[in-house]
Amino acid sequence: MQLWDFGQVFGILCVLIVIFAASWVYFRTNIGRCHSSVDLSGKTVIITGANVGIGYYTALDLARRNARVILACRNKEKAEQARDEIISKTGNKNVVVRIVDLCLMRSIRNFAKEIIDEEPRLDILINNVGVVNEGKAKVLTDEGFERLFAANYFGPFLLTNLLLDLMKKSAPSRIVNLSSTVNKYGTIEFDNLQAEKKFKHHHRYFDSKLAVILFTRELAKRLEGTGVTANVLHPGSVATQLLKHMFVIIRIPVQTFIKIFCKTGEEGAQTSIYLAVSEDVKDVSGKYFVDCKIQENGANPLSRNMEVAEKLWRISEDLTGLAEKKTS
C-alpha cells in the first residue's frame, strides 16, 4: 500500500522549505549591530584570545578606531599572524602581542605584571577566551586547576582583579566578559569547582559560563563609584573554532548547521564592541546583554543570587591566590 503520493511529498517539502527560509530570514534580521562611530585614539585595549573568531574581529574593529590593541594570546605564532593581518587591514601599527595562558595562574600573574610595568593606562579589558572541551578526560594543570573551568572562569577572574588598579587609574574604563546562553543550564557546586568529585565536559562548560555572570555581577557591585563598569554578554551562536575539540561525528553536522544559521565571527563580535565603545552603556554595569541589548531573561536566575556571587568570589580569591596577594 502506497502511503505517500508525489503531491503529499511535494507539499511537505514546500512547507519545510518555507519554514527553513522564514527561520533564516528571522535570524538574519535580528542580529544586533554596534553603530557607534566612537574613536579610541589614546585608549588602550586588552582582548584575550584575539587571534581567532570573535576576539579577532573585536580587535580588528577597535584597531580601526585607533586604539592601542593588545592581543593577549597563548599561541605566539598565531597571535603574531593575527597582529600582522590587523595592522595590514587597518593601518594601525599600535597593535601588539602579549603571551598569556589563562589556564595557568602564574602565566596570568606574569602577564599582568608586564602590563602594569609597561602600560600607563588600560581603558578596556575584554575577557573573550572561551574553551568548550580540552579533551576526553579531565586535565589538571600542575597548579591543580581543571583546564576548562580555569580558562573560562578562574583565569579571567584573576586577570581582571590584577589589572583593576590600572583600570581605576584610567577611568572611565570598561570590562567586558563573554558568557554563553548555556549558562541557563549551569549550576555552582562549591565542593566541585576543581572537578574534585565529578567531571562532565558539557556540565563544566555550562557551570563556567554561569560563573562568569556571577563574577560580573559581584565585580560591578564592588566597582560602584570607581568609574569602571563591568558587563557580560552572550555573543550568539557563532561559527568559530570553539567546537574544534568535539568528536568528528558530532562536530561535522553541528558545524554544517552553524554555517547556515549562525553568526559569522564579525557578527558575533558586535555586542563585545558595543559594550566596549558605545555611549549608550557608558553608565551601565552588571548587566547581561544579547545582540546589543540588555536581556536579563536570557540569564540563569541563579546568576542574580548575590549571596552565591559573593561566596563564589571569596572562594575564587582563595583558589587563585588573590586573597594572599591582598594580605601581603
**Is the CB of residue 130 less than 8 Å from the CB of residue 294?**
no
Judged by DSSP in three states, 95 sits in: strand
Per DSSP, helices labelled H in the chain are 6-29, 53-64, 76-90, 105-118, 147-149, 155-169, 201-222, 248-261, 265-268, 270-277, 306-320, 322-327
pLDDT at 192: 92
- C-alpha cell at position 223: 566597582
Q: Of 56, 57, 153, 205, which is the active-site residue?
A: 205
pLDDT at 29: 53
Q: Considering the chain, what percentage of its residues have pLDDT values greater than 90? A: 73
Partners of 234 in the β-ladder = 290
Fold (topology level) of 41-320: Rossmann fold (3.40.50)
Q: How far is CA 36 from CA 39, 65, 244, 258, in A?
A: 9, 10, 33, 28
- Would you tell me how many other CB atoms lie within 10 Å of the CB of residue 239? 19
Q: How far is CA 128 from the centre of its chain?
A: 3
Q: Give the strands of the sheet with 293-294, arranged side by side.
A: 95-99, 68-73, 44-48, 124-127, 173-178, 228-234, 288-290, 293-294
Residue tagged 572611565 (cell numbers): 172
Sequence spans of domains, the chain: 41-320
Res 328 pLDDT > 90: no
pLDDT at 240: 52
Could you tell me which residue, 105 or 236, shows the higher pLDDT?
105
pLDDT at 147: 93
Q: Considering the chain, what percentage of its residues have pLDDT values greater than 70? A: 81
Could you tell me which residue, 129 or 270, shows the higher pLDDT?
270
| Integer Cα distance of 322 and 10 in angstroms | 64
* Known active-site residue 205: yes
Could you tell me which residue, 170 or 10, shows the higher pLDDT?
170
| Integer Cα distance of 34 and 75 in angstroms | 29
Residue 197 region by backbone torsions, left for phi larger than 0, else alpha for psi between -120 and 50, else beta: alpha
> Which amino acid would we find at residue 144?
G
> Which amino acid would we find at residue 17?
I
| Integer Cα distance of 143 and 190 in angstroms | 19
Q: How far is CA 14 from the centre of its chain?
A: 39
- C-alpha cell at position 116: 602594569
Rg (CA), the chain: 21
| Integer Cα distance of 109 and 111 in angstroms | 5
Q: Taking residues 239-264, what's their average pLDDT?
A: 60
Crossing angle for the helix pair 155-169 and 201-222, to the nearest 10 degrees: 20
pLDDT at 265: 84
pLDDT at 1: 46
